[in-house]
Amino acid sequence: MRYHRPISQCTTHSHMKIINKVRINIMKRKVKYVVGHLTGNKTQPSAAAVVGSDFMDVTFRDIVSDELNKLKNTDTDVDIWDYHAFQTHTDTECQDILIEMQRIFYEDLTASQYTTTEQDDYEGTWEEEDDYLAKVTLEQLQLKTDQICNKEVWCPICKQGELKEDHRLIYCTRCKLQLSRGDEVNVEILRARLAEAHSDHLERGCMLAPKFCMETRFNLTALYIQCEACSIFEIVL
C-alpha cells in the first residue's frame, strides 16, 4: 500500500481527481523516459547502471515541473488532460490545485520528515515500483549485456528459462511453456508481442507487475497477460 500523506483542507474531491490524473501522466512519462534512456544507451554494458537514485530524482523533478506548467498554461479550448473539470475552476482554485500538486509530488522526494516506520513504508513502495520498472524494461527491451550479444528471449512465465524454437514449437528451457508455431510465428515475433503487451498494460496507468500464463480455450492453447489490479486479460500469442 502506498503511504497516504495528509491532504490540506483546500483539496476537494474534484481537486483530487485532477491531481490523480496528473500523477498518472507523470508516472507514465517517468517510465517512458527511463525506457527511452536505456534504449539510447543499449550498446553500453553499464547503461542500466546510470538509472540511479540521483538520476531519477532529477528526472522526476523535471517531469513534475513540466507537467504542472503545461496544466497551468493549458488553453481552455484544448483538453490536454482529457478531463474538463480544471477548466471550470476559478484562477484562485486553479492556483490552489497547482500548489497542492507541487506539495504532494515533491514530498515524494523528501523522506526526512517521516518517522522510521513511515520511512520504511515509503521506501518499500518506491522500491517495489523501481523493481517493477527495471523488470519491465529488461523484459521488454532485453537490455542485459548477454542478451544484447546473444539476442536471448527469457520466458515471461518462469523468468528463468530461455525461449527456444524448433520446427513445431516455441518452448521454454526451464518450465512447461510450449506454443505451437505457425507459418510466420517464431521467437522474434513473440518478443515483439511481449513488448506490445507490456506497453499496453502501462498505457492503462497500472504500475503493478502483470503475470503471464498459458490457457486453453476453445481447444486453442495460447499465452495470456493478466493483472488483478487493472483486470487486464488479453492474448499475447
- Report pLDDT digits (tens) over 184-203: 788 888 988 988 888 888 88
Q: Which residue has the higher pLDDT, 18 or 44?
A: 18
Q: Are strands 178-180 and 163-165 parallel, antiparallel or unpaired?
A: unpaired
User: pLDDT grade, residue 223 (50/70/90)?
Assistant: very high
Neighbours of 163 (CB within 10 A): 20
Supply 193's cell numbers: 508481442
How confident is the model over 168-172, as a mean pLDDT?
A: 91
When pLDDT is cut at 50, 70 and 90, the band that residue 103 belongs to is low
> Is residue 210 packed enough to be buried (19+ CB in 10 Å), middle (13-18) or exposed (0-12)?
buried
Residue owning grid cell 500500500: 1
For 143-161, what is each residue's pLDDT tens digit?
Answer: 444 444 456 788 999 988 9
pLDDT of residue 23: 72
If one compares 150 and 218, the residue with the highest pLDDT of the two is 218
pLDDT at position 5: 42
User: Residue 219's pLDDT is what?
Assistant: 81
Q: Average per-residue pLDDT in the chain?
A: 67
Domain spans, the chain: 13-141, 153-235
pLDDT of residue 172: 92
Residue type, 212: F
pLDDT at residue 1 tops 50? no
Residue 167 buriedness (CB in 10 A; 0-12 / 13-18 / 19+)? exposed
Angle at which helix 13-40 crosses helix 187-203, to 10 degrees, equals 150
Query: In the numeric block, which cell numbers belong to residue 153?
Result: 528471449
| Torsion angle (degrees, nearest 10) of CA 105, 226, 140, 130 | 30
pLDDT: is 93 or 230 the higher one? 230
Q: What angle do CA 151, 155, 156 make, to 5 degrees?
A: 115
Distance CA 237, CA 235 (A): 6
Q: What percent of the chain has pLDDT over 90?
A: 9
CB-count exposure of residue 190 (10 Å: 0-12, 13-18, 19+)? buried
Share of the chain above pLDDT 70, in %: 40
Residue 29: Cβ-neighbour burial (10 angstroms; 0-12, 13-18, 19+): middle
> pTM value?
0.41
- Predicted confidence band at 58 (pLDDT cuts at 50, 70, 90)? low
